[in-house]
Amino acid sequence: MDLREAGAAAARGFDEAMGWVRCRPPGAVDVVTTIAVTVASVGPALVAGAPWWIVLLSALASVPVWWRRRAPVLALCVIGPAMTALACAHAMPALPYGTIVCVYAIAAYSPPRLRGGALAAVVVGVLVSLVLPKESPDSYGYAAMSFVTAWALGTGVRARRARIAMLEERTRRLEEERVAAVDRERLRIARDMHDIVTHSVGVMIVQAETGSLFTRTDPVRADAIFDGIAESGRVAIDQLRHSLAALRGDTADPPHQPGLAAIPDLVELSRRGGLAASFEESGPRRAVPGDIAVTAYRVVQEALTNTRKHARATSVRVSLRWSDELLAIQVVDDGIGGGDRHGRGGYGLIGMRERVLGCGGTLRHGSEGDGFAVAVELPLRVDIRRCA
Instruction: Quote the pTM value.
Output: 0.49
Edge-first strand listing for the sheet containing 371-379: 276-282, 315-322, 326-333, 371-379, 362-368
> Would you kindly state where each structural domain of the chain is located, as residue ranges?
3-135, 174-379
**What's the CA gap between 50 and 54, in Å, rounded?**
6
Burial category of 315 from C-beta neighbours within 10 Å (exposed 0-12, middle 13-18, buried 19 and up): middle
Span 174-379 CATH architecture: 2-Layer Sandwich (3.30)
**What's the CA gap between 107 and 116, in Å, rounded?**
10
**Phi, psi (rounded to 5 degrees) for 331:** -125, 115
What per-residue confidence (pLDDT) applies to 376? 93
Do 41 and 98 meet the contact criterion of CB atoms below 8 Å apart?
yes
What per-residue confidence (pLDDT) applies to 23? 52
Burial category of 108 from C-beta neighbours within 10 Å (exposed 0-12, middle 13-18, buried 19 and up): buried
What per-residue confidence (pLDDT) applies to 19? 53
Q: For the segment 257-313, what is each residue's pLDDT rounded down to a tens digit?
A: 788 888 998 888 788 767 888 999 998 888 888 888 888 988 898 888 888 777 678
Query: What is the mean pLDDT, run by run of 10 residues, along the chain of 388 residues?
Result: 50 51 63 83 81 84 84 83 80 78 85 79 77 74 81 87 90 87 74 70 70 74 75 74 65 64 86 83 87 87 80 86 91 72 56 83 84 90 52
**Phi, psi (rounded to 5 degrees) for 217:** -80, -35
User: What residue type is 113 in one-letter code?
Assistant: R
Q: Would the CA dihedral through 363, 364, 365, 368 be positive or negative?
A: negative
Do 296 and 263 meet the contact criterion of CB atoms below 8 Å apart?
yes
N residues, the chain: 388
**What's the CA gap between 98 and 324, in Å, rounded?**
73
**Residue in 275, 375, 268 with CA at minimum distance from that of residue 335:** 275
**Residue in 332, 210, 333 with CA at minimum distance from that of residue 273:** 210
Extract the runs of DSSP E, i.e. beta strands, from the chain: 276-282, 315-322, 326-333, 362-368, 371-379
β pairing state of 371-379 and 326-333: antiparallel
**What's the CA gap between 123 and 57, in Å, rounded?**
20
Do 302 and 348 meet the contact criterion of CB atoms below 8 Å apart?
yes
**Residue in 94, 27, 38 with CA at minimum distance from that of residue 63:** 38
Helices (H), 61-136: 72-88, 97-109, 112-131
**Phi, psi (rounded to 5 degrees) for 329:** -120, 135
What per-residue confidence (pLDDT) applies to 354? 81
What per-residue confidence (pLDDT) applies to 281? 92
Residue 218 — left, alpha, or beta (φ > 0 → left; ψ -120 to 50 → alpha)?
Answer: beta
